[in-house]
A and B are shown apart, each in its own frame.
Chain A
Amino acid sequence: MDELTKEFIAESQEGLDRMERCLTDLEQRPGDGELVGEIFRAVHTIKGATGFLGFNRLEKLAHAGENLLGALRDGRVMVTESLINGLLELMDGLRRILTLIESTGGEGTRASDDDSRLIGLLVALNEAGVSEALQAAASASPGVEHVAAAMSSVPESGANDKTLRIDVEVLNRMMNLVGDLVLTRNQILRTDTVASNFPELARRLDGITADLRETVMQARMQPVGHLFKKFPRMVRDLAKTCGREVRLEFTGQNTGLDKSLLEAIKDPLTHAVRNAVDHGIEAPVDRVLAGKATEGCVRLKAFHQSGSVVIEIADDGAGIAMERVKAKAVERQLVTVEQAATMTEREALQLIFLPGFSTAAAVTHVSGRGVGMDVVRANVEKVGGSVEIESRVGCGTTLRLRVPLTLAIVPALVVRSGGQSFALPQNALMELVYIPAREMGTAVERIGSAQFYRLRESLLPMVWLDKLMGFAPGVTAEREGLYVAVLEAEGRRYGLVVEELLAPEEIVVKPLSATLREIGLFSGATVLGNGTLAMILDVAVAAERAGVKASEIAVVDAVVERHEAGVMGEASFLIFEDRLGERSALPLNAVVRIESVPLAQIEYASGRRLLQYRGETLPLRDEGGVIEELRAADEVGGAAVATILICAGGADGMHTTGRVVRRVLDVSAGRLLDDTMASEGARLALVGERLTTVSYEVDGGVVWGEVA
């Protein structure tokens, strides 16, 4: 295909995208002349170009459309539902031909490629009065099925995926930076490493590299609005099919997201919007009975939050009925009746993420075909994101997709096995466990050839990285203890035994060739700081290869276990010392990680201690004045290291804070003492038979323990 045709297709697709947006707007504001003008221009441009490119079929169809739009512009035809339907069909027709041209180079000559019906419809709409046009629409069009078929059959344009519109300003900036880069290189070539200005040159190079990286990332950023723009049409058609009245609202369309990520979340997002319309919003009659407006509302909202982009899909529909969810889960044998009975709402909500779960009472042709929320979650997790759901019966459901800003750079932990380095993505890494040789006998259990590690009362399947990689055994036979990285992906949780733990690194992900992708175990490769290459482990595939099942039972068990523990007042605590000589504890599930941080990394702003941690700024709490002590003791070196507990706080787990402690003592089960002993938000607990102060959460905010 020649350049001219390619350009024509890309431009026409863009025009049609605009047309789609305008058409759905036009239905809301029938009198808007500007919208009509915009639509007219899109079709007119296509028609104009087809003439000299020689696409007759396209020209004929565009011509018929242009005539109708001309009449509309001049006010000879009024905006009606059937007119909008006709124009949408025209748009689909044009899209189909464009797609055909793009994939085959020709317009198609088969009988099914005949547009006379569509052209007839457009002419009828143009010539006849409204009533006749309506008739024509009813008789000529098989209706909604047709539209639905078109929706699924028209693939996204390949040209749009491969080309990117970029601000010339950004391109200029890149060019300038590249110029600087060349100049700096020239200077470096002319000096040697001992020259006095070498450090300065290295610094400049560092600065330019950082700027360039940022600029390129910026260029790859696309507004999320690109994803949203196809929804008005989809929701409109869907609402018609399901007999709903739905209004769609957007906020934050300009939120930027990396182009590849945008592609990755397109399907999950579409699925979520369909769900909201089909399952979320009630039929108008039911809405009136519930005292709501007949028109339901689906809100799409995108915004930045601490290094990731959140896309929220909220509906004001019926919400998720917990009883139905539980009943369904029991019916599908995902949980037992007893388990279901003791579940809280929050736990029950998690059930909808289990594979094979769907609450749709009736299987409609839109959703409820078994492709459920588990796929949405898997797809979002695949790109390092997460999915959350909130629902209130009668008020609606909110689904949150959280994705990282970019896929290109991810934090990872580098490990070694069999003499090779491997990178484990941090988002799949739950915790690290070291099993000393003397505990191997008690901590590691065997059932047949499978081995398990007892991690806080649950059995964790163990997977040996060297075995998984097909390395000869014996290389790693003798060791003093085991390093276990606890990984979780797509609901599979397991302990990966590695030979050696190296440093955490921000890695730049490089794609692998098709041949190596076929191995499946690796999602990419990366160049480490020391110049060697490391393969990036695909945590989910590795689990599958090792035979780790995504066990629903285990997930539910864990949930129920936690629940029961809550009832009894029994829980696991992390015990540490912050004030000198005093034992304090936090519920273990509130502690995300334990980090050793050099004092130099702790920063101060308006009297508060802050830590830059994985793209977030964490406020630090230092109950025992540990930092000051460390600083005082460390006059000379500046190499002192503070131990910081990274704690998730708040009901949503969003407000992460850091807590500086003197040292971590132990993890132990304990029991909270009666509230009568409580004072100022802190409670005493018997942990390991000793009195311990426990900080706990109140109303979503973390309340920290005061002196008891």
Chain B
Amino acid sequence: MSLAGIAQESADEMDSLCSFQTGDEWFGIDTRKIREVLGELEVQRVPMAPAFIAGVIPNRGDVLTTLNFRALLGLPEREGQHPVLVLEDEEQGERFGLMVDAVGGVVTVRGRMLEQNPSTLAYRGKALFDGVYKMPMGLLIRIEPSKLRPMRLAEIGLLRSSSRGE
């Protein structure tokens, strides 16, 4: 569905987003697409994996691939434990984790507050972001989990430069 389509249909609908922080920015993901919010935990690294993958975590009997959101945004890595959001891509039925700096709370937004990605945004942002909400306290960047699907990220070649090396 195109971005304009989303905006039109949901112009007056209320959406609840879960907000989280990475770097200096705040982001939001539709709460219906979040399966679970895990507290601070250690993510097991996977050798030879692309840089945007933080590693794997055990979750409800499965081993989930976990993305490093800082790496996706091109920020330097931070040591230690981080909260992880468990997201689900409904089309593919694939669950995966998203490692972020901090989790905020649930915010309610109106569809009409959504602004398309500003045209001056870097390519990296365009590929990941879904638009921006103009909130009273600042901007909230909307993230669509299906755009973060690990396989898609691997395919579009974003951040190919990885820790791969002999």
Contacts and interface: CB of A to CB of B under 8 A. Distances in A.
- The B interface is mostly helix, strand or loop, or mixed, namely mixed
Contacts of A535: 46-47, 56
Interface in B57-116: 57-58, 61-65, 94, 96
Nearest to B95: A513
B151 A532 contact: no
Given A470-B163, A513-B65, A515-B154, A527 B58 contact: yes
A533 interface: yes
A469 B63 contact: no
Most buried by B among A418, A515, A526, A533: A515
Contacts, number: 66
Contacts of A524: 63
B53 interface: yes
A678 B9 CA distance: 94
- The A interface is mostly helix, strand or loop, or mixed, namely mixed
B50 interface: yes
* Residues of A in contact with B, size category: 20 to 34
B135 interface: no
A162 to B, nearest CB: 12
Given A533-B44, A533-B63, A470 B58 contact: no
B72 to A, nearest CB: 13
A383 interface: no
Most buried by B among A516, A518, A519, A524: A516
A521 interface: yes
B45 interface: yes
B49 interface: yes
B45 A420 contact: yes
Interface string A500-533: 0000000000111111101101101111000011
B65 A515 contact: yes
B165 interface: yes
Contact of A519 (B46, B57, B151): B46
Contact of B49 (A467, A471, A516, A527): A516
B88 to A, nearest CB: 13
Contacts of B164: 470
Contacts of B153: 515
A514 B56 contact: no
Contacts of A470: 47-48, 163-166
B131 interface: no
B48 A469 contact: yes
A492 to B, nearest CB: 19
Those 3 A-B pairs whose CB atoms lie nearest each other, nearest first: A469-B47, A515-B150, A533-B44
Interface of B: 44-50, 53, 56-58, 61-65, 94, 96, 150-151, 153-154, 163-166
Interface of A: 418, 420, 467, 469-471, 510-516, 518-519, 521-522, 524-527, 532-533, 535
26 contacts: A418-B47, A420-B47, A469-B47, A470-B48, A470-B163, A470-B164, A471-B47, A510-B62, A511-B63, A513-B64, A513-B65, A514-B151, A515-B50, A515-B53, A515-B65, A515-B150, A518-B154, A519-B46, A521-B48, A522-B46, A525-B63, A526-B63, A527-B63, A535-B46, A535-B47, A535-B56
